[in-house]
Amino acid sequence: MTASLHVLTAGYVGPRTASTVSLVRDGDTVVVVDPGMVADRALILDPLAARGVTPDQVTDVVFSHHHPDHTLNAALFPAARFHDHWAIYRDDVWTDRPADGFALSPSVRLAATPGHTPEDISTLVDTDGGLVVLTHLWWNAEGPPEDPYATDPQALHASRARILALGPALIVPGHGSAFAPTPQTPS
C-alpha cells in the first residue's frame, strides 16, 4: 500500500510569503505538512474540503521547522498530533522522540535534514509514482543554490545530497510548486 499526496497550496517568497501546504493520506492516517502562512485560510481549507477531508479528520501535522511561515495555521487541526524534530505534541502531552526515521504510517516517515535550521525535518512519502519528499531544503525548483537564511550551509548541502541519493520522483519545496529533480537540481 502506498500513500497519496496533494499540494493544497503552492507557496512563494517575495514581497509576500506563503508556505507550500500539502495533504498526505495513507490509510487512516491523514497528514498536513507545513500549515503556515497563506493569503487566506481558505487556501488550505477549501482544497482540503475538495478532497473530502475536514480539519477534524487530520490525524497528524508535520512542521518542517518552526518558522511562523510554516506553522501559523496549525490550530486549524484540533484533533491532530503535531510533529517536529524532537517530539510529538497532542493537547498537553509532549512525547520526546527523534524525528529521523520515525514512521507516521507504513508509507510516511520523517527524516532529519538540517541546514535551513538545525531542526529541519523532511517528510518522505512512498506513493504509486515513487518517493515524494516534502522539505525546506529547497525553496523552489531553482533552489536557491545557496539558502540566504541557512544556519549551516554545509549541513544544508549534505542534507540535499542525502535526499537526492534516495532518488525521489518528486520534491515538494517549502515555497514553490512540486518538481522532479534533475541533474541541475542544486545539491
CB atoms within 10 A of CB 18: 20
Superfamily of domain 4-172 in CATH is: Ribonuclease Z/Hydroxyacylglutathione hydrolase-like (3.60.15.10)
Measured distance CA(88)–CA(98) in Å, rounded: 9
Q: Classify residue 28 as exposed, middle or buried by CB count within 10 Å of its CB (0-12, 13-18, 19+).
A: exposed
Q: Which pLDDT does position 92 carry in this prediction?
A: 97
Q: Which pLDDT does position 40 carry in this prediction?
A: 97
Q: Nearest-5° angle of CA 109, CA 131, CA 23?
A: 65
Q: How do residues 15-25 score in pLDDT, each as one tens digit?
A: 999 999 999 99
Is the entire prediction scored with pTM above 0.75? Answer: yes
Q: Would you kindly state where each structural domain of the chain is located, as residue ranges?
A: 4-172
Q: How do residues 106-162 score in pLDDT, each as one tens digit?
A: 999 999 999 999 999 999 999 999 999 999 999 999 989 999 999 999 999 999 999
pLDDT at 1 over 90: no
Hunting for cell 537526492 — which residue is that?
164
Amino acid letter at 186?
Answer: P
Backbone angles phi, psi at 159, to 5 degrees: -65, -40
